[in-house]
Structure 1
Amino acid sequence: MNVRRGSIVITGASSGLGAEMARQFAASGYDLGLAARRADRLDDLRKEVLDAHPERRVEVATLDVTDGDAVHAVVTDLDRRLGGIDRLIANAGTGQGAALGTGGWEANRITAETNFVAVLAQADAAMEIFRRQGSGHLVLISSMSAIRGMRRSMTTYAASKAGVAAAAEGLRAENLKGVDISVIHPGYIASEMNAHVRERTPFLVDTPTGVRAMVAAIERRRKKAYVPAWPWVPIGVAMRILPLSAVRKLT
């Protein structure tokens, strides 16, 4: 596709859902700013995207999202290099965790900082740009686990993703003209993060299929989306009303 539709910055773009979003958004006409810690993988992805879509512009930046100052500097630089940012997708995250009180504090601290505090930094950096230009689309990637508290190794992960959803709602409550805020709640989509549990994960879909559902919801600028819609929309309804004893069987 030769028509440029805009520019998107994606964090956590070196693998998994972020890398696949980059492929699909490039195919539909977007220029990309890709940020992640692993520079070699970003370079490989950039080459892959440009080989498939030479008309696109792809800028890459090495970034540890837990460094708030670096987040602001990188987002500002990508805004300059791309000639403006129309959408930022705060996708970077981690799935580490342990049951509280079992010696896993460090893993839980990393998860909380990466999945929540770092997302606030990304949102802050993006919103500075969007407020100034009077337009933009901020997309925060949460999780189906954000709907209810989860047990054992999922407790901190679920809490961090619930915080992301609350941050999105708070921003949306400002009702800023020209600025859209979306929160996406993926169900089980195959990625590097869940590779070790795929054989026992129900309703798991492959990465391209799951990301197509995410991209479709993002393109429609949905305020909140459970993806893929089947079976996660009805599961989401059930999770809200079922007793905790039933919800805990999902983890």
Structure 2
Amino acid sequence: MTKSEQKLATSTPLSPKKRAILVGASSGIGAALAHRLVDEGYQIALLARREEMLSTLTDEINAKHGETRAIYYVHDVTDYETVPELLSKIITDLGGLDSFIFNAGVSHMVGLKKYDFEKDRQTIETNLIGALAWLNPVAEKFQELKSGQIVGISSVAGERGRVGNPAYNTSKAALTTHLEALRNRLDKLGVNLLTVKPGFVQTDMIKDAKKLFWVIPPERAAKDIYKAMQKRKQEIYTPARWRWVMLVVRNIPSFIFRKLTF
């Protein structure tokens, strides 16, 4: 069995609607956004590693709407070489592509005085290289079409190099920069590129974390993301108050920031 595998919940053919690919769909923001997009009229292809959760999500969506509105593909984003062929297959299965969302990500906690290359490598390979493996061919496709929308889920963690979880911070900072570069390439061609910077969202990624604040449910993040997609915004924070917090954080002098322990 390959890492990438397609499953249709029923034999009902997909009907022509807005079409989206969502990578990193099995839980959290991805699952909530999948429900939101289909509720708003999308046909959607869902990708993730965890087949049981992905299958359940797909069945829930299709049962709710009484037809095949979602199809799924088991896929590991570090399986880079399969992406071009898989992307082409999904576009054929959907009958086209209007929006692409990259939400896949991992976070491996490492102690403040610890250095773990293997965990750091896994973080970079998933959050950054996995993103580029998808974003680049999708950008090329939309460049040819002179239309489309790309949504990248980054994080407020990419705003500064904090002492906690350096590799995760690095992966999100680099992803934000890459998304900006793609935006500058594609904007004049009619392709919208949205960078999403969530704060703390109630997902498995933060289940063991302590002293968190402004934690929002995935459904709130999904609502904000969909609203931004509709308005074809270029960047949002969710919740929005993080924009002002990060404005302050980015301007804290380095000699002070180095003394902070978060």
| 1:228 positional shift | 1.2
Calculate the aligned-residue CA RMSD, in Å: 2.0
Deviations along 1:147-179, one digit per CA (max 9) or x if unpaired, are 111113x21101110111110111112134121
Report deviation, 1:104: 1.2
Task: Tell me the residue number matched to 1:167.
Answer: 178
Unaligned runs of 5+ in 1: none
Q: Among 107, 110, 114, which residue is 1:95 paired with?
A: 107
CA deviation vs aligned residue, 1:32-86 (integer Å, no higher than 9, x gap): 0000111121111011001112245211101100111122222221111000111
- Which whole-Å CA distance do the structure 2 matches of 1:183 and 1:221 have between them? 11
Letter of the 1:241 counterpart: N
Matched, 1:237 2:255: no
> What is the correspondence of 1:48-67 to structure 2 with a 5 Å cutoff?
48-55=60-67, 57-67=69-79
In structure 1, C-alpha distance between the alignment counterparts of 2:45 and 2:261, rounded to whole Å: 36
In percent, how many aligned pairs have the same letter? 29
Distance in 2 (CA, whole Å) between partners of 1:180 and 1:206 is 26
How far 1:100 moved relative to its partner? Answer: 8.1
The question of whether the paired residues in 2 share the 8 Å contact of 1:134 and 1:177 is answered with yes
Does 2:47 align with 1:35?
A: yes
In structure 2, relative to structure 1, the CA distance for the partners of 1:248 and 1:87 (3 Å cut) is farther
Q: Would you say the 8 A contact 2:112–2:163 is kept in 1?
A: no
Equivalent residues, number: 246
Please name the residue that 1:201 is paired with.
212
Native 8 Å contact 2:143 2:189 kept in 1: no
| 1:51/1:15 CA distance change after superposition, 3 Å | same
Runs of 4 or more consecutive aligned structure 1 residues displaced over 6 Å after TM superposition: none
SS at match of 2:136: helix
Aligned match of 2:143? 131
| Structure with greater proportional helix content | 1
Q: Say which SS state the counterpart of residue 35 (structure 1) adopts.
A: strand
3-state SS of paired residue (2:19): strand
The verdict on how the C-alpha distance between 1:101 and 1:201 changes in structure 2, with shifts beyond 3 A counting, is closer
Deviation string 1:81-101 (CA, Å, 9 cap, x unpaired) is: 000111110110001142587
> Within the alignment, does 1:185 sit opposite 2:201 as a pair?
no
Counterpart Cα distance in 1 of 2:101 and 2:81:
18
Match of 1:110 in 2: 122
TM norm structure 1? 0.91
| Letter paired with 1:239 | V
Q: Which residue of 2 aligns with 1:213?
A: 224
- Check whether the contact 1:97–1:108 (CA below 8 A) recurs between aligned residues: no
Equivalent residue letter for 1:209: R
